[in-house]
Chain A
Amino acid sequence: MTTLSEQILGAPAGEYVDRRVDRAYVHDGTGVLTLETWKALGGSGISCPECLFVLFDHIVPANNSTTADLQHELRDFARHAGLHFSDIGGGICHQLMAEGNALPGEIVVGADSHTCTLGAFGAFATGVGATDMAAVWASGTTWFRVPDSIGIHLTGSLSGSVEAKDLALTYVSRLGMDGASYHSLEFIGEGVSGLSMDSRLTLSNLAVETGAKAGLFYADHVTRRHLGSFGHRVMPQEQGDCNYRVEYHFDAGEIVPVVAVPPRVDTIRPVSDLAGLELDQVFVGTCTNGRSEDLSRFANIVRGKRVKVRTIVAPASRKVLENAVKTGLLMDILAAGCTVLPPGCGPCLGAHMGVVGEGEVCLSTSNRNFRNRMGVGGEIYLSSVSTAAASAVAGEICIAGD
């Protein structure tokens, strides 16, 4: 039998294969260099415009005229070449792809490292750089080395205010920042079926923080229901006996709320250890934790209260934002004193909006706390949405009540 990566790529681990990709996407950041490189390839044409997506999310709306000019050129190109295009305010690329644009068994590449998020659907989804992407634009294909796989075996279920994010940070810390280099992760075991699609997306999203190429779930009834709501009919994927290089076991019932301390994603501490740490900013959103389930958790905790620290909330997509408006959650979030940003990456990459200053401490629901990532001299702690919400209300890191 074979792993899911081997099934999808159609060859045993270790082999190099050339494959047609089903979907490929870039954002406003990586798209510019992709376009440059594609031009340098010498007018090769576009192999499969209907497979290609250009999704603006990183610096949106544009922050200055240089960015505006770069976006102008990429926008024009995407439209003229007939690529799928989502302009500012549409949402984060990975989230838009997760809204019915990636299917089980597909091969998906994105010019962004968190493309692994889409493994939640049983797609082989992985990040590539701009030059690889330019070659995909021109040829519709790319090469892969079929990865060995590591099994992340889950049992039990998350309880109380413990979230998939806590489980994600826990597995990242167990594997380490390069623990899965050149490997794929496969999330398996009886603990998987109880995980919502939003939770799976969070777990797949962090896969790259262990160096993994992809982080896959086998499509099941949850996948089916989620994709069914976008009009897709999908078949479950069969998991056979396969050889994992190594298996890690996690009992979700034993996971506690944790925080990743700067500057490494794999250094975690229980929230209780850091209780009382004063904050300058709380940020809720990103491709890790900006979905409807996240906003709803957040609103449930801040409803009827006031945040004590500046708090920024960025929905992951227009759909998520619309949903928050319809259900009244957005009003709760605003009434609690939070600042709501347009759908997109917002402060996550420290280039535009919500940048933190020298010596400031930010608690963020994102996936990276590298030095200076959200602003020079700022420190980033990573947590779940519940921890972020409770801490926003307290003005300092604190554990959410169950």
Chain B
Amino acid sequence: MRIEGPAVCLPPDIDTDLIIAGRYLRTKDRSIWAKKVFEDLDPALSGRLNGAVIVAGKNFGCGSSREQAAVALKEAGVRGVIAPSFARIFFRNAINIGLPLAEADLPCRDGERVVIDLTSGRVCSESLERPVAPLSARMLDILSSGGLVEFWRKKK
């Protein structure tokens, strides 16, 4: 699996309340989450996410278990997220909905082209390359199926 896009840099400890605020959870309309993603961090950010790769600091996705956080990123067009570490529930959620994550410590420059290559287990920017903590075989399988629902259907 190979993903690439311009980097959007974010600080460490981004919590799921910041990704999508609690006040927007009561709906089934996913387009609302895409519009309101990161509203409390920087309302202009959602406009830059389509096709982008988020490169964040450690502990990305901490806090609430809301899966809408991962869904919001995907709906907004985020191709993948690179961070030195992820909060574990967010990590499972993202894989389950088919949003690629790479656990790696990659210095970030806004707009720089970055690549996530989960098959070879590395991420790189224009000047640097870093190894990615490997995903379990099943996680890779779920991810490459496009998420747990698709994985499950395939299995049946």
Residues in chain A within 8 A of chain B (CB atoms) = 16, 29-30, 32-33, 36-37, 40-42, 44, 59, 66-67, 70, 111-113, 115, 127-132, 134-135, 138, 143, 145, 177-178, 181-182, 211, 213, 264, 349-351, 368, 370-373, 376
Contact = CB atoms under 8 A, between A and B. Distances in A.
B154 to A, nearest CB: 11
B65 A127 contact: yes
B149 A213 contact: no
17 contacts: A16-B136, A33-B68, A42-B156, A112-B64, A113-B65, A129-B92, A130-B93, A131-B67, A131-B93, A135-B148, A178-B58, A178-B85, A181-B59, A213-B88, A350-B23, A351-B22, A371-B40
Interface of B: 13, 15, 17-18, 21-23, 25-28, 40, 58-59, 62-68, 70, 85, 87-89, 92-93, 96-97, 136, 138, 147-149, 152-153, 156
Contacts of A67: 26
B66 A30 contact: yes
A29 B148 CA distance: 21
Contact of A182 (B17, B67, B88, B136): B88
Contact of B153 (A30, A41, A115, A145): A41
A127 B66 CA distance: 10
A70 B92 contact: no
A67 B85 CA distance: 34
Nearest to A62: B26
Given A29-B66, A131-B96, A372-B17, A349 B22 contact: yes
Nearest to A131: B96
A66 B26 CA distance: 7
Contact of A211 (B68, B88, B92, B138): B88
Contacts of B25: 29, 351
Nearest to A70: B26
A371 B17 CA distance: 8
Contacts, number: 117
A370 B18 contact: yes
Contact of B63 (A37, A111, A129, A368): A368
A48 B62 CA distance: 30
B65 A129 contact: yes
A264 B13 contact: yes
Contacts of B67: 30, 33, 129-131
Given A41-B152, A128-B65, A134-B149, 6 more contacts: A40-B149, A66-B27, A130-B67, A131-B147, A132-B92, A177-B59
A282 to B, nearest CB: 20
Given A66-B26, A372-B17, A372-B40, A131 B148 contact: yes
Nearest to A181: B85
Contacts of A372: 17-18, 21, 40
Contacts of B93: 129-132
B50 to A, nearest CB: 23
B63 A113 contact: yes
B8 to A, nearest CB: 19
Given A66-B27, A128-B89, A132-B92, A370 B17 contact: yes
